[in-house]
């Protein structure tokens, strides 16, 4: 019997160790270690432990927090010009799954992009709704899924009960959402990465500018709220009541007041000062010019061949060091050695998330790190494979039916042709390589083994060594 030391605090220690390293984060949350929060919230946070409470003091309700919450949500709805907004304290996952449960049942088929986030699959499992997947376009040089092409999306829209859109995607790419809205049906949006789009004319249009039903956003990703805090917007009053009912079922009955307070403060900051977004865009434009002058690096920019990409968020910076012989993961490791941590690494590039909290000092540190990598002559010795990053998979049964079926664990290497009961999810970005109900192929097996060799975190599998996968027996 192993006797464990209960005085150890491994998770808390790991967090503190990262903070003390002084690494400059170009990743979520958007407040960048507190640099981007408002003065008022910084002062409030001095009382964080005391404010982690279950009571408030409010003129109308005295001790009931609901009145204060609703007042704050009305201010949020006014800022985004919608009928109703909701604070969420279980992330955008909560909002996505609430929307799916509010509009779809096991009798419904939902039109979805195949590069949807894992939380969407959770919503399908909970609701029983059947997905009708539309695969995004692939940039073969960068080995990245872009967005769904409009004509393909509309071709697949016959007979569906509604649509769930991804806008923008993780990398800031936007499709022509206005044309992809399906008239007369619920049009729901995962806008986790687009919470800031209304605050500058340099950004793509926000989803709420189109004829959608509701959208979920992640202010913690690029605004200044705390991690796990999100919000949901509903355009019309008649849709708000049903969504409110569902949220009442799935949201926690012990909400974190620090998260809600951070949402309130983030909204107030955006209402006060929008010009900071324009200033951030100007800084990023200058940074792009600097990076282009450094030997060995490329920045992703849509070309005429990317007809599916209608617009792109300028604050998402995809940079490749493949001309230096570095895959994305080795590139990330070299950045980390130089005090920089990007949002994510993939096989061909890293992604930098830039917010108003990144001032000239942080951007100069990034460009200096890139210059040092360029001059250092580091190369990767990892072998690359030529397998489609989004193999077309057959959906045999619904995600819910697969999830609740009897399953067995088999060797991944021998699972070709089996029906998956669990997901394999490269994380980030959190897009399932395979999901419950889909048939496993040789390409899925090879990609999983390749990603494992790159030390790309893979989630969703019971076997954390990714040697076995649960399939339907």
Read off the pLDDT of residues 324-379 as tens digits, 9 standing for 90 and up. Answer: 999 999 999 999 999 999 999 999 999 999 999 999 999 999 999 999 999 987 77
Per residue in 127-157, pLDDT (tens digit) is: 999 999 999 999 999 999 999 999 999 999 9
Distance CA 386, CA 388 (A): 7
Start-end ranges of CATH 3.90.100.10 in the chain?
A: 399-472
From the list 135, 108, 119, the residue with the least C-alpha distance to 232 is 119
Distance CA 349, CA 346 (A): 6
- The CA-to-CA distance between both ends of the chain, in Å, stands at 34
**170 neighbors 317 (Cβ within 8 angstroms):** no
From the list 233, 224, 235, the residue with the least C-alpha distance to 263 is 224
Q: What is the pTM of this model?
A: 0.96
43-272 to CATH, choices 3.40.640.10, 3.90.640.10, 3.40.50.11540, 3.40.50.720 = 3.40.640.10
Which residues have CB under 8 Å from 457's CB, separation 6+? 426, 427
pLDDT at residue 72, as a whole number: 97
Q: Which of 16-30, 49-63, 194-208, 363-377 is the least confident region? A: 49-63
Q: What is 47-59 written as a DSSP string? A: GHHHHS-S---BT
Query: If you ran DSSP here, which 8-state letter would residue 78 be given?
Result: H
Would the pLDDT of 242 be above 80? yes
pLDDT at residue 383, as a whole number: 72
Per residue in 248-262, pLDDT (tens digit) is: 999 999 999 999 999
Half-sphere exposure of 115 (CA within 13 A, CB side): 21
pLDDT at residue 59, as a whole number: 66
Would the pLDDT of 290 be above 90? yes
3-state SS, residue 461: coil
Fold designation for 19-34+274-376? 3.90.1150
**456 neighbors 395 (Cβ within 8 angstroms):** no
Start-end ranges of CATH 3.90.1150.150 in the chain?
A: 19-34+274-376
Q: Where does residue 43 rank: exposed (0-12), middle (13-18), buried (19+ CB within 10 A)?
A: exposed
Radius of gyration of the chain (CA): 22
Cβ atoms within 10 Å of 23's Cβ, excluding its own: 16
Per residue in 175-211, pLDDT (tens digit) is: 999 999 999 999 999 999 999 999 999 999 999 999 9
pLDDT at residue 69, as a whole number: 94
Which residues have CB under 8 Å from 88's CB, separation 6+? 94, 95, 216, 229, 230, 231, 232, 247, 251
399-472 to CATH, choices 3.40.50.620, 3.90.100.10, 3.40.225.10, 3.30.70.370 = 3.90.100.10
**120 neighbors 165 (Cβ within 8 angstroms):** no
Split at pLDDT 50, 70, 90, the class of 388 is confident
pLDDT at residue 75, as a whole number: 98
Half-sphere exposure of 417 (CA within 13 A, CB side): 1
Biggest distance spanned by C-alpha atoms of the chain: 65
Average pLDDT, the chain: 95
Question: At how many degrees (to 10) do helices 328-337 and 360-376 cross?
Answer: 120
Q: What is the per-residue burial (b if ≥16 Cβ within 10 Å, else e) of 44-76?
A: bbeeeeeeeeeebeeeeeeeebeebbeebbeeb
Q: What is 216-284 written as a DSSP string? A: EE-HHHHSSSPTT-EEEEESSHHHHHHHHHHHHHHS-SS--HHHHHHHHHHHHHHHH--HHHHHHHHHH
Cβ atoms within 10 Å of 119's Cβ, excluding its own: 20
Start-end ranges of CATH 3.40.640.10 in the chain?
A: 43-272
Split at pLDDT 50, 70, 90, the class of 167 is very high
């Amino acid at each position: 019997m192993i006797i464990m030391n209960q005085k150890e605090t491994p998770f808390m220690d790991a967090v503190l160790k990262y903070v003390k390293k002084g690494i400059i984060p170009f990743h979520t949350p958007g407040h960048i270690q507190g640099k981007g929060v408002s003065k008022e919230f910084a002062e409030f946070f001095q009382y964080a432990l005391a404010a982690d409470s279950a009571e408030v003091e409010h003129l109308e309700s005295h001790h009931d927090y609901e009145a204060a919450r609703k007042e704050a949500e009305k201010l949020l709805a006014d800022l985004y010009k919608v009928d109703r907004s909701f604070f969420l304290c279980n992330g955008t996952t909560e909002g996505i799954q609430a929307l799916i449960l509010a509009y779809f049942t096991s009798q419904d088929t939902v039109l979805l992009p195949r590069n949807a986030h894992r939380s969407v699959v959770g919503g399908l499992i909970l609701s029983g709704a059947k997905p009708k997947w539309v695969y995004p376009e692939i940039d073969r040089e960068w080995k990245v899924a872009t967005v769904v092409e409009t004509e393909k999306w509309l071709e697949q829209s016959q007979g569906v009960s509604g649509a769930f859109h991804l806008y923008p995607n993780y990398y800031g790419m936007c499709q022509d959402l206005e044309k992809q809205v399906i008239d007369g049906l619920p049009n729901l949006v995962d806008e986790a990465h687009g919470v800031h789009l209304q605050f500058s004319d340099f950004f793509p249009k926000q989803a709420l500018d189109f004829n959608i039903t509701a959208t979920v956003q992640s202010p913690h990703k690029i605004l200044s709220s705390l991690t796990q805090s999100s919000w949901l917007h509903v355009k019309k009053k008649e849709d708000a009541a049903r969504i409110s009912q569902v949220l009442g079922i799935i949201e926690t009955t012990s909400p974190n007041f620090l998260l809600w307070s951070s949402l309130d403060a983030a909204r107030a900051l955006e209402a006060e000062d929008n010009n900071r977004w324009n200033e951030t865009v100007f800084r990023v434009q200058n940074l792009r010019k600097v990076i282009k002058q450094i030997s060995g690096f490329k920045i992703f920019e849509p070309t005429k061949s990317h007809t599916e990409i209608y617009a792109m968020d300028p604050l998402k910076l995809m940079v490749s060091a493949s001309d230096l012989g570095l895959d994305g993961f080795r590139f990330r490791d070299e950045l980390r050695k130089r005090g920089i941590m990007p949002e994510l690494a993939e096989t061909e590039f890293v992604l930098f998330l830039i917010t108003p909290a990144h001032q000239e000092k942080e951007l100069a540190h990034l460009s200096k790190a890139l210059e040092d990598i360029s001059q250092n002559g580091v190369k990767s010795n990892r072998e690359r494979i030529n397998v489609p990053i989004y193999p077309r998979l057959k959906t045999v049964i619904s995600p819910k039916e697969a999830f609740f079926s009897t399953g067995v664990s088999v060797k991944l290497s021998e699972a070709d042709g089996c029906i998956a009961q669990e997901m394999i999810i490269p994380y980030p970005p959190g897009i399932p390589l395979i999901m419950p109900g889909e048939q496993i192929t040789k390409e899925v097996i090879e990609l999983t083994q390749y990603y494992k060799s790159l030390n790309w975190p893979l989630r969703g599998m019971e076997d954390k060594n990714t040697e076995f996968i649960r399939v339907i027996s």
